[in-house]
Amino acid sequence: MFLDILIKLVRHKFPKTPVISTQKLLYKLDGKEKIFLIDCRSKDEFAVSRIPGAIHLEFNAPFHKIKALLTSHETKSFIVPYCSIGRQYIQELEVGSIDMFNLTWFVGGAITAFLVYCNLPPEWLLPPKNASLKYLKDTQLRKLTDSLYGKKGTIVKAEDLWAKKGAVIMVVRRPGCILCREEALEFMKIKSDLSALDIPLVGIVHEEEGAEEFAKRRIMLTGLLNFRFILKTFGAWRKGVSGNLEGDGSLLGGTFVMGPGSEGVLYEHRETYFGDHVNMTEVLSIAKSLKKTQ
């Protein structure tokens, strides 16, 4: 990798390297540092102003010459390609670490930092905000069951879902999402208990893609790199739950237990990462307490 970098620097005449004066270069040469200086100027320039200790190397030097030149020197010395084209340019490269190159460590560190960021506590990255009854009740919804049977979906207000008996509402992140379908299976396990309490279980989606098979907050790439999401996806796959990639996958879902009339939001779970499922025991407990107050 070092050879490739050096060849690139030589052949492109150091277009982006930091500028350094000849005086500063000579100062470094007079120091105690071991420096292997490669003078990449033209033969005429090299002959007129030869720098002590420098080894001349043409810009168009063949690969085997460059390789031989590098391998003939101590690995702990500094390689300093030098040229003068209008101005003096210097690029220092330490042979001892350049095989891995500092860029490798930088990229590795950046990736590690990004992964750590993706797995910080969700409440740090996307703190959930409580929903209000005033905000929820006037939301207009369309009955998807009508459109599934070829009818035009009836428009209803959200408050109609819980006005009489209350309701347990699952806000689906994406109908085709494998983790959303896994959570829906968990809801089906308590559906009979909710039916016995005469409390409806309702699913709300923001799009129709995948809704037949399934029968706004967002999170982007960081959510896909969250290890909890990866583990939960693998767990759902092992259970045999399938999904698809249709629709907007950046949204987050949640669960609400609504009291009848103006009682409002009795329980709220807002997803903070993909696959952040609600605790079904808590949902059922709130539903039972709701029934007692009716």
Active site residues: 177, 180
| DSSP output for 39-82 | E-S-HHHHHHSPPTT-EE--TT--HHHHHHHHHTS-TTSEEEEE
Contact predicate 241/277, CB 8 Å? no
Q: Nearest-CA neighbor of 263 among 141, 129, 165, 158?
A: 165
If you search the block for the tokens 């059922």, which residue do you land on?
Answer: 284
CB 23 within 8 A of CB 72: no
Token pair of 157 as six digits: 């207000």
Q: Based on the number of CB atoms within 10 Å of its own CB, is 43 exposed (0-12), middle (13-18) or buried (19 or more)?
A: exposed
CA-CA-CA-CA dihedral for 47, 51, 55, 56, to nearest 10 = -30
276: nearest Cα among 154, 186, 202, 192 = 186
